[in-house]
Amino acid sequence: MSGRGATRRQAVLAGGIAMAGIGTPLAALAAVDKALQKKLQRAALGGSIHIEQAKMVALEAIANGRLLGPRETTTIRVLQDHANEHAALLAMLSKGDLGVEPPLAPDRSAIPGLRSLRSAHASIRLGIDLERRAIGAHLRTLRVLRDAPLLRAIPQVLASDGQHLVLLRQLLGEDAVPSAFERGTV
């Protein structure tokens, strides 16, 4: 068949036999791909949950830290409540949809910059940094998700975090919306 005399029928038949021989490896590859996809989804969602928990812990510490005035404290407490709701929703979906327990909330000492806060400005700046990190984490999570409830929830959390940035920038007297798109940070 490798010579010039091979017919189309022989070539098609040979191709079919070759494909049948790799059917099992293709099925195994698909199973590995599905397992890898699930692992990536779990890891990404864990990152989104972790940053929402970190915001929750940090914002509580900032609100209780006596560096802010009443207006700033009120805003920070609202953002803390939102972070609590975000973390709870994502944790519930992690357990229910992906079958994995969410990560534990970090200790205050594990949040970079929290212990060294000495002013209202630095406290709000840390809030902005955490919101930007959350936006980055949620965007990364969206790239790997295949779960419909999570694909509905993450954009809502992402939009809320964008609103938080506006409020925090306003507290600092900065341009509240410096760009049409928030991309977050790593």
DSSP secondary structure string, 93-149?
Answer: HHHHHH--PPPPPPPGGGSTTSTT--SHHHHHHHHHHHHHHHHHHHHHHHHH---HH
pLDDT in tens, 16-42: 544 455 555 656 656 668 888 888 999
CA distance 24 to 6: 28
Residue with tokens 């599905």: 34
Neighbours of 78 (CB within 10 A): 14
What type of residue sits at position 80?
Q
Please tell me whether the overall predicted TM-score, pTM, comes out greater than 0.95 for this model: no
* pLDDT winner (highest mean) among 8-12, 33-37, 124-128, 178-182: 124-128
What type of residue sits at position 118?
R
pLDDT in tens, 28-80: 656 668 888 888 999 999 999 999 999 999 999 999 999 999 999 999 999 99
As to burial, measured by CB atoms within 10 angstroms (0-12 exposed, 13-18 middle, 19+ buried), residue 32 is exposed
* Residue 179, C-beta contacts closer than 8 angstroms, at least 6 positions apart: none
What distances in angstroms separate CA 18 from CA 4, 29, 53, 180, one per listed residue?
20, 17, 52, 52
CA distance 166 to 152: 22
